Structure 1
Amino acid sequence: MKLFFRCSGYLFSILCIFHFPELIQAESESSHPNIVIILSDDQAWNDYGFMGHDTIKTPALDKLASESAVFKRGYVPVSLCRPSLMTVITGLYPHQHKITGNDPPKGMNRQKLLKHVKQADCLPEMLGKIGYQSFQTGKWWEGNPSLAGFTSGMTHGDPSRGGRHGDRGLKIGREGMQPIYEFIDKCGQDPFFLWYAPFLPHTPHTPPQRLLEKYLSSDLPIELSYYYAMCEWFDETCGQLMNYLDEKGLSENTIVVYVTDNGWIQYVPETDQERQKMKRRFRYAPKSKRSPYDGGVRTPIMFRWPGKIKPAEYDTLVSSIDIAPTLLAAVGLKPTKEMQGIDLLEVMRQGGKTKRDALFGDIYEHDMVDIDDPASSLKYRWCVQGDWKAIFPGSRLKEEKVELYQITTDPFEQNNLVSKNPEKAKQLLKLTNRWWDADSR
């Protein structure tokens, strides 16, 4: 009897192929795509070949860009890694998910912060409900990755064993890609979600000698040589990941998302004497990491999904808060009511057009003041609308003034125009207060 049903099943399958091909196509189209999120760590928005850098070589990411929808005016709301990563995984602004800094107040147990990731709806958890396997690698601050719904991960997150911002996970990329390959192979036919957030090009700047030699030059400060080589090293690992997807025949059914957690401008000492006095050889310059300037919050954001997303470049203002709702839409899930981002798949279908008028962000202290009150640690809010960007210091920074830049013609924010355009600054402040009025909490 079992043999009869088995043979009948085979016969039915053959009949479907020849007489009902649309059934086979429908089944294929209904399968959920794999998802890969690639997160650069401490890299400026223009430090790529496809973004116009004339020295740094990024052939793998250049190729990915040529196959993707590329939003060149992408932003993260905050220029510090932990809150920025939390935004990607939840689709929420820092003042919503309440992870506003890298560390709690001095003396507080780090484990107390983990309540916030437990309370949030995170992508791995949501995807897991429809059958996704998920794997965390690289940077991860929120304890054991299982708290966010990852089914597996490299990080253990135990402070007693050195867990803080990734521990064992920080080996990915720097020490090879094998854990990722093994995860992909184990998934079999199950859809997967991969978090690739290597500790690259982040300090320590220790690139392979073969890459460093490409950038050593009498015309280039040594600090830049090391940093540029780190950017290319990161690019190489991205290429290895893309090649593995190709080798396994997975690229066609995989959405690849690219974003950086925050910007970085390599500080270069003005004199050899200053260089010798520096305690840390490699550190970031002003107007980059931890700042409200584009050097800290701007990033290219890319989506590749062969056959579903048409390669194109857009000047549309987009944010990392859009990543979660876009991915949820791609797999047939709805965003949570707290998510303020938009579905970028729909933006692509509209040729880059969107009804959203402005982008916003919030910058905080590195160490939180009150882990339950985001406004207590607030330093700046910022707003970009069209050609304009405004920076509004928080009430804690009493000596600082509002800044206003025509960001499309002054991308490095050199010319503060607030005194010449006070009404524009006021208009952007109204928009920002409508988004989040931190003083009226």
Structure 2
Amino acid sequence: MKSTYFNFSFFCIAVLICVLGCNRSKRDIRSQNENNTPNIIFLLTDDQRWDALGYAGNSDIITPNLDTLAAESVYFKNAYVTTSICAVSRASILTGQYARRHNIWGFAKNFSEEQLQNTYPLLLRKAGYHIGFIGKYGVGNKLPSKHFDYWKGFPGQGTFNERDENGDSIHLTKKIGKQIVDFLELQQGNEKPFSLSVSFKAPHVESDPGHFNPDRAYDDLYVTDSMNIPKTSIEAFRNYFPERFTENNVARNRWETRFANPTMQQESIKDYYRLIYGVDQVVGKLRKELERLNLDQNTIIIFTSDNGFYLGEYGLAGKWYGSEPSIRVPMIIYNPSDTINAQKTINDKVLNIDIAPTILSYAGIQLPEQMQGKDLSELIDGKNNNWRNEFFYEHIWESSEAYYIPSTEGVVSGDKKYMKYFMNRDTTDVIFEELYDLSKDPKEINNLIGKPEANGLEMALRKKYVALKKAGE
């Protein structure tokens, strides 16, 4: 009898300890947020093309932490930007809108107050989130610091050659990593959920026209390696675009300073990859810090880039134009509470304008009518059977003699693509056109424009281009 009583008492105590332990653990994890509203961290790199990631099949680049994140997440294989340039793409990310709607085409124009109030961070703050911003803001020259609870953003391009709190030299990417830790530590005891937007400068060049400037701590990486180069970067493709397109083109001029010969190309690619390795290290430390603070089980991480980058393709450097290396980006969503969709790869087309509505949806906030992007959580959960298979691409630029960048408009429809290059805003002043069947020609080598066998495809995509352009207004 005594033995039975003892065993029963021991059992009750064990259960009580277990319950109290579980409750304590949950209380620690949810200390900021009793309603279990998720924390959201958005990580944005600058100029990282879709294939500059080990998980994407790149055997040269070293990105162990990003690869692990991607393997534990939903990985979007076909993520694109609607405009491939920093300021415009960032405006689209923040608002969930095409450029022709938010009307920010360059670097100097700021959001109106109404536009700013309808960006995802400020909508989160209105809903009770504690919001922070770190890194390159990139939209206009008026920083919205007063609207944030934590602000470590900077205007313009910034520099990688930074100073820490003691005045010692520190690489910008590493400094951003320290600021992330600082923000997370400040969340201890905060009852509000948080949203942190981190905008890296890496792997952007140091200045204009610029060079890649990685943390010299990573100089030993790739020293003896020979990097694979893009197929269309060889000399045979230097005149693929016509002379009217390439002559005095900013992209060709920058190619001259970074990729003009094999040695330059190898060193530039290595430094570009070293910059991404620096970001990868920050991502690894971020995840460890979340775990240390018991925030890892309730924090969603979204990772992408503002645009891609030419690594010498067609004798070009930079972005702007409609090639896959320029408009296609990595995209990852890690949601620890969604174990069903972990380790999932999605092939549907997703866009930078989908980021804002997705973040708001995770936070349980109704989407503003003016947002044109879609909620990616619906695609992840299989709740949207009518997902897009095509999208409109646009980059409008008023060129000058000193800064010549032909404007671009086009459409990607399924595995087909049409792009038109023209002067300024005059779509009738056509410089060059491209038409590809990406299922047969993923490297965009065989331009089908004007070829009799592709007349039907050309006509069909021109019609889609007109229709999608109108729909995006």
Q: Which residue of 2 aligns with 1:138?
A: 135
Q: CA deviation at 1:345?
A: 0.9
TM-score (norm 1): 0.78
- Where 2:221 maps in the other structure, the secondary structure is helix
In 1, the alpha carbon distance for the partners of 2:336 and 2:132 equals 22
Counting only pairs closer than 5 Å after superposition, residues 32-431 of structure 1 correspond to structure 2 as 32-102=37-107, 110=108, 113-116=109-112, 118-120=114-116, 121-142=118-139, 143-146=141-144, 149-155=147-153, 163-165=155-157, 172-175=172-175, 177-187=177-187, 188-204=190-206, 205-217=212-224, 219-220=226-227, 221-267=266-312, 286=316, 289-308=319-338, 310-311=341-342, 312-350=344-382, 353-365=385-397, 379-394=407-422, 395-396=426-427, 398-418=429-449, 419=451, 420-431=453-464
- Aligned equivalents of 1:314 and 1:353: distance in 2? 13
After TM superposition, give the deviation of residue 434 of structure 1 in Å.
2.0
CA distance in 2, matches of 1:153, 1:340: 27
- How far did residue 262 of structure 1 move? 1.0
Q: What is the CA deviation profile of residues 148-204 of structure 1, one whole-angstrom value per residue up to 9, with x for unaligned ones?
A: 943331136xxxxxx434579987524352222222222323211111111111113
In 2, are the aligned partners of 1:140 and 1:166 still within 8 Å (CA)? no
What's the offset of the Cα at 1:414? 1.3
Distance 1:351 1:329, change over 3 A: closer
Higher strand share: 2
Letter in 2 for 1:202: H
SS, match of residue 435 in structure 2:
strand
**CA 1:427–1:149: 2 relative to 1, 3 Å:** farther
- How far apart are the structure 2 equivalents of 1:138 and 1:117? 21
Distance 1:144 1:35, change over 3 A: farther
- Report the alpha carbon displacement of residue 138 of structure 1 after superposing the two structures with TM: 1.2
**Structure 1 position 435, deviation (Å):** 2.4
Q: How far apart, in 2, do the equivalents of 1:29 and 1:432 lie?
A: 48
Q: Is the 8 A contact 1:141 1:166 kept in 2?
A: no
The residue type equivalent to 1:64 in the other structure is L
Q: TM-score, normalised by structure 2?
A: 0.73
Q: 1:417 to 1:30 in 2, by over 3 A?
A: farther
Distance in structure 1 (CA, Å) of the matches to 2:373 and 2:416: 20
Unaligned runs of 5+ in 1: 1-13, 103-109, 157-162, 269-283, 369-376
* Contact 2:435/2:458 (8 A) holds in 1: yes
Distance 2:47 2:398 in 1: 15
1:118-174 Cα deviation digits (max 9, x unpaired): 534101110001111111111112345436943331136xxxxxx434579987524
Q: Find the residue that maps to 1:421 and give its secondary structure.
A: helix
Does the aligned pair in 2 maintain the 1:383–1:390 contact within 8 Å?
Answer: yes
Deviation at 1:237, TM superposition (A): 1.5
Tell me if the contact between 1:251 and 1:306 (Cα under 8 Å) persists in the aligned partners.
yes
**Paired residues, number:** 382
Q: Distance in 2 between matches of 1:117 and 1:293?
A: 34
Find the aligned partners of 2:406 and 2:367 in 1 and give their Cα distance: 27
Matched residues in 2 for 1:167 and 1:189: separation? 35
Note the residue ranges of structure 2 that are not aligned, 5 or more in a row: 1-15, 163-170, 207-211, 228-265
Cα distance in 2 between the residues matched to 1:63 and 1:54: 15
Name the CA distance, whole Å, in 2 between partners of 1:226 and 1:123: 33
Q: Secondary structure at the match of 1:255?
A: strand
Q: Give the aligned residue type for 2:323.
A: Y
2:40 alignment partner, SS class: strand
Write the letter of the residue equivalent to 1:247: R
Evaluate the alpha carbon distance shift between residue 378 and residue 124 of structure 1 in structure 2; reply closer, same or farther with a 3 A threshold.
farther
Task: Determine helix, strand or coil for the equivalent of 1:154.
Answer: strand
How large is the Cα RMSD of the aligned pairs?
3.2
Closer, same or farther: CA 366–39 of 1 in aligned 2, 3 Å: farther
Kindly provide the amino acid, as one letter, of the partner of residue 97 in structure 2: L
- Write the letter of the residue equivalent to 2:105: T
In structure 2, how many angstroms separate the alpha carbons of the residues matched to 1:200 and 1:61?
A: 14
Measured in 2, the distance between the counterparts of 1:290 and 1:200 equals 18
Residue 235 of structure 1 aligns to a residue whose secondary structure is helix
Whole-angstrom CA distance in 2 between matches of 1:341 and 1:253? 25
Question: 1:288 Cα deviation (Å)?
Answer: 5.2
More displaced 10-residue stretch of structure 1: 74-83 or 343-352:
343-352
Deviations 1:354-408 (Å, cap 9, x if unpaired)?
A: 432312221122779xxxxxxxx98121211111111133435724233111123
Identity %: 27
- Contact persistence 1:43–1:265 (CA under 8 A): no
Report the 3-state secondary structure (helix = DSSP H, G, I; strand = E; otherwise coil) of the residue aligned with 1:183.
Answer: helix
Contact 1:44 1:299 in 2 (8 A): yes
Cα distance in 2 for residues equivalent to 1:208 and 1:167 = 12
